[in-house]
């Protein structure tokens, strides 16, 4: 686990080395164990290293293959690297190449050897989370790739004939190759969904390489290609496996996914909230691990927000070495500026992960497993049930005056739910591709139009465009929701926040639910196997008595903090300062921002804390990174 940087197109190696040194310094937090820079005419590669596998100096990067043709910088983990190494050492698969002689025990060298043997087709053989770049000294070409599900980030920008890439936006900005100009089209996307959806970012001219894609570049041009697509694993309608066999397959794939992610040469643990997903991870870790599992939970004095009792049930059942991180407003306030400063890209989420990651790292843990991805894969969110209901309510949309009735209901029962129902019945139909873009909205369209000036407001909805492009009509409703959640909310908020907040403490997070083989199998199943009659029924049935009934049947709380109380009291001054700073932003109506803030303070049901906090985060990030309008 590391951070990588690179530039192609600068002839002067001293200039490119100087730029990469500045970029590396900006993300030193990602790799405190080592750093390296290679610079030559037209190419420069750099890396910051967090040692997880082969802690010796042999893992230094940039790393060269045996014949010195290829040079790599790499961020991530390849979980099947030992099997691939076995094959590469023996020239398996009928290759004409000679067996590769390894000099290190790293997975980095396995990628080098695999690329030497198979070229871009090596991507089909890698099971892991990764972003890497390989320079071909013979053909003068750069190959950059990102993992199938976008677990590890990779940003890039182009300025004339110079192409630069990095694990972080802030490192790209430090290079001065790209200007610190705001992407004004991103504001509407951010206000709708508390993030900016890839490939766009908050910065003009900076893009995120999409999951399952690679870049091939030389000093004159570059092209982007797709090597993996979740759409290819559309539900097989003719599949007729017995349910017990499906459960066994899920169990087997999940066990292998967890077992693969325990490969490390450093101490490891797990985040444990006490929910189904994190409990499933800890249960399976306890089954396959050779030592006692260390677990970490955030707890509060306020029982309304604390999940401590559920986490303890799992910790006691599996006799884990359990650590409770007690959080109070003063602790969080002390950490807030550090958490916000650690954001590489603004988001409405993230500080939760920052706090638990810091405590986990402080306990001597360098790698931890997370239950992220379980909700998306096994229909854990309420949107799955809601989408099924909307399908049954198609006839409602045809009733004359239904939209007027919804508006009356909104006035009689003001709140977010009523407002969304009102906007829902203004749609042409209740088909999934129409209703889904509304589900994750933070602010509704009328509110956004008031907050933004005409300079900032963009009518096109990025999520709606993505859904049209990625979700085939052949998908069942539950599979369609999974596809949408994985491709929007999970990739652009959860995974990005997890990476930037954990790497702020040089902590690696692994996500077994996103093992691509498990994802491909579950996504290929028809909806009949995944209907959430009970919470995440397929997953729970697959694990059987590994999950206690108290966990399976508990109310879903989510991993949240008592934000409303904090924003009104302990964090009031911080919020007020950032809200006032919007007067300098030409894309926002500062008066409307102030009104929204006052409505929150007055307990307006239409303005919960989340409608304020992500504005605070946005303005803080803009100021912190000296972004120009």
Active site residues: 2
* Separation in Å, CA 473 to CA 235, 363, 433, 485: 11, 48, 10, 16
Note every long-range contact of 257-260, with CB atoms under 8 Å and residues 24 or more positions apart, other chains counting: 257/512, 257/513, 257/515, 257/517, 257/518, 258/284, 258/285, 258/288, 258/369, 258/512, 259/288, 260/79, 260/80, 260/127, 260/512, 260/515
In DSSP terms, 158 is beta-bridged to: 163
Reply yes or no: is the peptide bond before residue 471 cis, omega within 30 of 0.
no
Bridge-based pairing of strands 2-8 and 162-166 is antiparallel
Residue with tokens 């030193």: 28
Label residue 228 left, alpha or beta by phi (over 0 means left) and psi (-120 to 50 means alpha).
beta
**Reduced 3-state DSSP string for 76-89:** EEECCHHHHHHHHH
Strand extents, DSSP E, 189-253 = 206-208, 213-217, 222-226
Q: Which of 119, 117, 122 is nearest to 102 (CA)?
A: 117
What are the percentages of helix, strand and coil residues in the chain, rounded to 5?
A: 45, 15, 35
> In sequence order, which residues have a C-beta less than 8 Å from that of residue 602 and are 6 or more positions away?
none
> Measured between alpha carbons, how far is 57 from 65 in angstroms, rounded to an integer?
16
Helices then strands, counting H and E runs in the chain, come out as: 26, 17
Question: What distance in Å separates the CA atoms of residue 48 and residue 411, rounded to the nearest whole number?
Answer: 55
Residues 6+ apart with CB under 8 A from 454: none
* CA distance linking residue 11 with residue 40, whole number of Å: 8
Do 172 and 164 form a contact (C-beta atoms < 8 A)? Answer: yes
- Exposure string of 432-453, with b = 16+ CB inside 10 Å and e = fewer, is bebbbbbbbbbbbbebbbebbe
What CA dihedral angle connects 538, 541, 542 and 547, to 10 degrees? 120
C-alpha dihedral sign at 538, 539, 543, 545: negative
Nearest alpha-carbon partner for 213 in 201, 233, 230, 196? 230
Across 176-304, the runs of DSSP E, i.e. the strands, are 206-208, 213-217, 222-226, 268-271, 294-299
Q: What is the 3-state secondary structure (H, E, C) of 204-218?
A: CCEEECCCCEEEEEC
What gap in Å lies between CA 179 and CA 186, rounded to an integer? Answer: 16
């Amino acid at each position: 686990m590391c951070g990588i940087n690179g530039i192609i197109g600068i002839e002067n190696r001293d200039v490119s080395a100087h730029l990469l040194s500045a970029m590396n310094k900006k993300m030193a937090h990602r790799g405190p164990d080592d750093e390296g820079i290679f610079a030559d005419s037209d190419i420069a590669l750099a890396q910051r290293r967090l040692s997880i596998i082969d802690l010796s100096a042999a893992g230094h990067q940039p790393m060269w293959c045996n014949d010195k043709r290829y040079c790599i910088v790499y961020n991530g983990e390849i979980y099947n690297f030992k099997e691939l190494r076995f094959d590469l050492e023996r020239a398996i698969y009928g290759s004409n190449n000679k067996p590769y002689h390894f000099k290190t025990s790293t997975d980095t060298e396995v990628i080098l050897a695999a690329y030497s043997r198979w070229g871009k087709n090596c991507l089909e053989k890698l099971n892991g989370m990764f972003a890497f770049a390989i320079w071909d000294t013979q053909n003068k070409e750069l190959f950059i790739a990102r993992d199938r599900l976008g677990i590890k980030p990779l940003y890039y920008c182009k300025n004339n004939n110079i192409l630069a890439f990095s694990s972080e936006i802030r490192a790209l900005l430090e290079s001065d190759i790209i200007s610190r100009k705001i992407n004004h089209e991103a504001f509407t996307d951010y206000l709708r969904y508390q993030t900016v959806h890839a490939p766009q970012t908050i910065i003009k001219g900076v893009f995120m390489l999409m999951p399952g894609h690679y870049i091939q570049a030389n000093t004159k041009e570059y092209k982007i290609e797709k090597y993996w697509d979740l759409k290819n694993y559309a539900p097989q309608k003719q599949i007729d496996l017995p349910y017990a066999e499906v459960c066994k397959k899920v169990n087997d794939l999940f066990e292998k996914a967890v077992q693969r992610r325990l490969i490390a040469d450093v101490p490891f643990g797990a985040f444990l909230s006490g929910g189904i997903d994190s409990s499933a991870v800890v249960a399976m870790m306890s089954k396959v691990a050779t030592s006692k599992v260390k677990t970490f939970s955030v707890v509060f004095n306020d029982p309304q927000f604390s999940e401590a009792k559920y986490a303890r049930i799992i910790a006691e059942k599996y006799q884990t070495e359990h650590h409770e991180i007690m959080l109070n407003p003063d602790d969080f306030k002390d950490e807030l500026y550090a958490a916000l400063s650690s954001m590489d890209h603004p988001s409405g989420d993230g500080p939760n992960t920052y706090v638990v990651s810091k405590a986990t790292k402080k306990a001597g843990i360098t790698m931890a497993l997370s239950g992220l991805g379980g909700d998306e894969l096994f229909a854990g969110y309420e949107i799955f049930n809601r989408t099924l209901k909307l399908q049954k309510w198609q006839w409602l949309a045809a009733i004359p005056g239904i939209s007027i009735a919804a508006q009356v209901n909104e006035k009689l029962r003001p709140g977010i739910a009523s407002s969304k129902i009102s906007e829902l019945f203004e749609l042409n139909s209740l088909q999934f591709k129409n209703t889904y873009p509304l589900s994750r909205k933070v602010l509704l369209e009328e509110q956004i139009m008031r907050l933004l000036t005409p300079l900032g407001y963009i009518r096109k909805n990025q999520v709606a465009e993505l859904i049209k492009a990625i979700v085939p009509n052949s998908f069942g409703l539950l599979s369609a929701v999974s596809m949408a959640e994985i491709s929007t909310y999970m990739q652009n908020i959860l995974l990005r926040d997890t990476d930037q907040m954990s790497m702020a403490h040089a902590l690696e997070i692994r996500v077994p639910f996103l093992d691509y083989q498990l994802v491909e199998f579950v996504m290929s199943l028809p909806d009949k196997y995944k209907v959430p009659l009970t919470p995440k029924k397929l997953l729970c049935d697959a694990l059987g008595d590994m999950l206690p009934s108290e966990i399976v049947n508990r109310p879903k709380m989510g991993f949240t903090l008592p934000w409303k109380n904090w924003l009104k009291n302990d964090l009031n001054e911080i919020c007020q300062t950032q809200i006032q700073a919007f007067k300098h932003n030409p894309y926002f109506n500062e008066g409307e921002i102030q009104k929204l803030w006052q409505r929150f303070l007055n307990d307006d049901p239409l303005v919960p804390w989340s409608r304020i906090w992500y504005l605070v985060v946005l303005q803080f990030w803009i100021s912190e990174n000296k972004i120009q309008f």
